[in-house]
Structure 1
């Protein structure tokens, strides 16, 4: 019996028929930025030739473009609220055939069990899910996450060929001060010749020097073209992010030109299921880039070859001999309208629908993942914010469609010696309830949601994933938090003491075993409930809420231990004077 390699060579040499030949297609060549013509020959799941070929099976591309499968350079699958097996059904029809995933959301809840769950579930799918191991669990040394992962905990995962390296290093103080636990993780990756991702939110060029000296080679947190240029000048790759809350593409594209474009790629980072389904994954990034004036072939190269080279995937990212037969049929390059998606030479999606057979996430998921909400009941008395020195307060102001927040000092309403939320001033109460061990409750004041009534609450709160809630009154806050306790996590909207809508996320309080269509319907009900409390609709309140507890992104954030000034790297009181 011939070996697989012999079969490929024989088909390439036309000594035997290829398994599949694609005829009448226009091949997008990402190496030379040209469109070429010729038959595409495939054997054993690999492209073996471009030219004139005969195959055991023939498919007529009918004049469509043949593009490489798209690659999402950095994604937290958990943010879609479904596990990899269901996530695949949503992104494959959008032409995404490979993702570089960082499972640090589930790792912050369940440690190595969470990482293993993601790896095991991803095995069931035709999507190539590569993993970057979480480097900061917890995100900062003082955080009360559900787990603490050391280099020793991570080391066994490097035996899995799908593990490419160490994920976003976001604890810059530990990096800068050479904390032993951080050095151990960096050394683990370096000694295994694996990659290390960065996370340089709000950091200057001096910090880039620190990251590069630690052999950290990417950043997906740039929000200006100048920041992007600082990073690529020092040898980094920049991932241009367009997610559900962080939408940086328009601001970063001016940094891209023909001389430096090979250092840029696309990612989604965090994107909700409904946005993925209706808007798209990195295919949406490509369309936006083309619409903004970037050459279509360059845009496609950024979403394919650039990403593959960045993450050392030598058989991904191009339609050429020696590359995996992961490609798309596209009707035109301006709109990137995808009609067919191929994975290893087999059709896996057609006209926007997945066509492969799949297996849902295991019903035997570990109890630790299904019973992860362990906080005590909360009372209205627990939510009181005393104001003893006047009516000025340190207030977090959200910036719609951004992860950063502003730090305001402003006057607030005070009633009976405590802060009173104000719809007129758009000053709401913000609550973080520690949910892994039932430790404590953090309280703060937030501006920018614009709710006219009610409360939103979620167990998705990056990265420790405590329960986080924002609203106009204490009664609804208590009802919403209790709803999440009862349903083992998820989302809830409450008004006048009534739960208007909720979406249980029983896997770690982050994901559900439900079919993605059920989740889409649940999110539709959530959207209706948001309208009922007066949400403006110009940004997603839940995704914005989920980042208000992440103390590694400036300026002001709320943890279960209180209000945290990210720039000063210290807790501060709510009262200001």
Structure 2
């Protein structure tokens, strides 16, 4: 009956029989359905828009002073954990950037802590104004080629669909399981469809023929396009295409030429993985919108891509538009070209004004979480890399890309043991299993970090989140790994035998318990410390390192079980 009464109240306001809670006057409304911009009042009752027209009675009148009134932005695919904060803290960063809704895949914390990790994210998100919809992780573990902390079968995921914020199945990374028709993977897809959810794809490196396997089982979205041609392949196949601009995956400018006036309704924006410092410096989806406009996309089209297109993609019928019956998630823009946000409303309440948060809306409520212990018994002997020849397969790191190159290079081996060459930028990379104490250690060679005297290590290592480190000496690598183990998870930079900077991530080795302002300062110190040991520039070293362990993206990656070749979809020896 409560919902019926709310609907009765909204109807009464819409036909002027009752006063609204809030009326926005003198605004220029961007209609994402028709593509028009026109003047009109916006009436709001109980957090929903109840009418567009002329309204003169309300508990609160807001004068827009001719500003543009647009829907709140939606991030169509993001991993909250990549910002290294819980959802409630993430909201404090996103809402000033006009992002009022996110669709997230919590597979990072799920790979460490299973269903309990997902439940923690849902519980924490409920304490903030931001709407966080969850796509359940489809691939925990992501592949059978690494050890993670948990396994989530279809039967483990099924109960979670009862949560109102769970809306589908997240990026299906294990393409071979789809192509081979593995029963549990297909059962996850069937369960998502049964609950009316969308199923996300993960088409990194897939051909047009490979995409047919995805389409055949009902997968209808993808965010892994890195070129306009790849985006068109997915569009022609009937997919919604998410254009990504994150910290490492910066694909928007390469994929944007695929967008036209005829097909733009099938495109939306996502960040996927973006660190706090980049979110604060650039923004989130508002940055994608600005970048798209600056590169030739019509402003109204860009706003559609950031709002109603994303809502349609994920079957979210009550967000993404300024229209009667839609949730009152509203942005005030000074102009459309620069996407300058002056006010943010969430469910009809002002949460940000002139860049300043209404902090009473963000009061912190602690959600307890018992992190699994970090377990390993690493010794210096485990870091030795024995080779049968002086030619090796080397991971070629590519700045600002999730992809790597498969290099074959001459290396130095003394008595059959690989020797780091800082002159040739051939550094040692190590992945240490940290969840179950298996003793598995993967050792390889990486090029691109430019470290001269030191090491970096982190417990953020997609997607299984073992410990990953790279450095110029075994001693420095060992010190960095020991330090983040003592922290209970985190990031560290070691400079000539001393810890130069660190960041503790005690929640599953992925998230901090500090406010994002403190994390930003820690990240600045970490970046300064990295530049003290390396001359390499133009990329984030820590997030880049964290993706060098992800075997579902081409070409060479390193897991705790060894060197993985995506083209063969199997392990290869480091030595040639």
1:275 to 264, 273, 278: 278
Q: CA deviation at 1:361?
A: 5.8
Partner Cα separation in structure 2 for residue 430 and residue 187 of structure 1: 40
1:10-25 equivalences in 2 (<5 Å): 10-25=12-27
2:90 to 71, 87, 91: 87
Q: CA deviation at 1:184?
A: 1.5
Q: Does the CA contact (< 8 Å) of 1:360 and 1:513 recur in 2?
A: no
The superposition leaves residues 515-550 of structure 1 with CA deviations (integer Å, 9 ceiling, x where unpaired) of 111111111111110111124230001111001111
User: In the superposition, relative to structure 1, how do residues 361 and 486 fare at CA in structure 2: closer, same or farther (>3 Å)?
Assistant: farther
1:404-483 equivalences in 2 (<5 Å): 404-439=403-438, 440-483=440-483
SS at match of 2:114: helix
SS at match of 1:230: helix
User: Do structure 1's residue 354 and structure 2's residue 357 form an aligned pair?
Assistant: yes
Give the equivalent residue in structure 1 for 2:333.
330
Give the equivalent residue in structure 1 for 2:532.
532
User: Do structure 1's residue 141 and structure 2's residue 144 form an aligned pair?
Assistant: yes
Q: Does the CA contact (< 8 Å) of 2:120 and 2:367 recur in 1?
A: no
The superposition leaves residues 187-209 of structure 1 with CA deviations (integer Å, 9 ceiling, x where unpaired) of 21122222100001000001111
SS at match of 1:135: coil
Give the equivalent residue in structure 1 for 2:38.
36
1:382-393 equivalences in 2 (<5 Å): 382-388=382-388, 390-393=389-392
Return the TM-score normalized by structure 2: 0.98
Give the equivalent residue in structure 2 for 1:199.
202
User: Do structure 1's residue 549 and structure 2's residue 539 form an aligned pair?
Assistant: no
Partner Cα separation in structure 2 for residue 437 and residue 262 of structure 1: 46
Q: CA deviation at 1:450?
A: 1.6
1:182-331 equivalences in 2 (<5 Å): 182-331=185-334
Give the equivalent residue in structure 2 for 1:396.
395
User: Do structure 1's residue 490 and structure 2's residue 494 form an aligned pair?
Assistant: no
CA RMSD across the alignment: 1.2
SS at match of 1:85: helix
Partner Cα separation in structure 1 for residue 18 and residue 127 of structure 2: 32
SS at match of 1:456: strand
Q: Does the CA contact (< 8 Å) of 2:455 and 2:472 recur in 1?
A: yes
SS at match of 2:408: strand
Give the equivalent residue in structure 1 for 2:368.
364
Q: Does the CA contact (< 8 Å) of 1:460 and 1:509 recur in 2?
A: yes
The superposition leaves residues 221-241 of structure 1 with CA deviations (integer Å, 9 ceiling, x where unpaired) of 011111111111111001000
SS at match of 2:61: strand
SS at match of 1:308: helix
SS at match of 2:76: strand
Partner Cα separation in structure 2 for residue 12 and residue 356 of structure 1: 31
Give the equivalent residue in structure 1 for 2:165.
162
SS at match of 1:38: strand
The superposition leaves residues 341-377 of structure 1 with CA deviations (integer Å, 9 ceiling, x where unpaired) of 00011011122232143343626322xx1x431122x
Give the equivalent residue in structure 2 for 1:75.
78
The superposition leaves residues 21-60 of structure 1 with CA deviations (integer Å, 9 ceiling, x where unpaired) of 1111111111122211011111111111111102221011
SS at match of 2:85: coil
Partner Cα separation in structure 2 for residue 190 and residue 435 of structure 1: 35
Q: CA deviation at 1:417?
A: 2.4
Q: Does the CA contact (< 8 Å) of 1:26 and 1:35 recur in 2?
A: yes
Q: Does the CA contact (< 8 Å) of 1:557 and 1:565 recur in 2?
A: yes
Partner Cα separation in structure 1 for residue 61 and residue 162 of structure 2: 39
Partner Cα separation in structure 2 for residue 190 and residue 28 of structure 1: 33
Q: Does the CA contact (< 8 Å) of 1:91 and 1:277 recur in 2?
A: no
Give the equivalent residue in structure 1 for 2:511.
511
The superposition leaves residues 271-326 of structure 1 with CA deviations (integer Å, 9 ceiling, x where unpaired) of 11111122111111001101111111100100001000011111111111111110
Partner Cα separation in structure 2 for residue 531 and residue 541 of structure 1: 10
Q: Does the CA contact (< 8 Å) of 2:245 and 2:270 recur in 1?
A: yes
Q: CA deviation at 1:379?
A: 2.5
Question: Alignment length, in residue pairs?
Answer: 571
Q: Does the CA contact (< 8 Å) of 1:196 and 1:217 recur in 2?
A: yes
Partner Cα separation in structure 2 for residue 479 and residue 10 of structure 1: 67
SS at match of 1:193: coil
Q: Does the CA contact (< 8 Å) of 1:109 and 1:372 recur in 2?
A: no
SS at match of 2:123: helix
SS at match of 1:24: strand
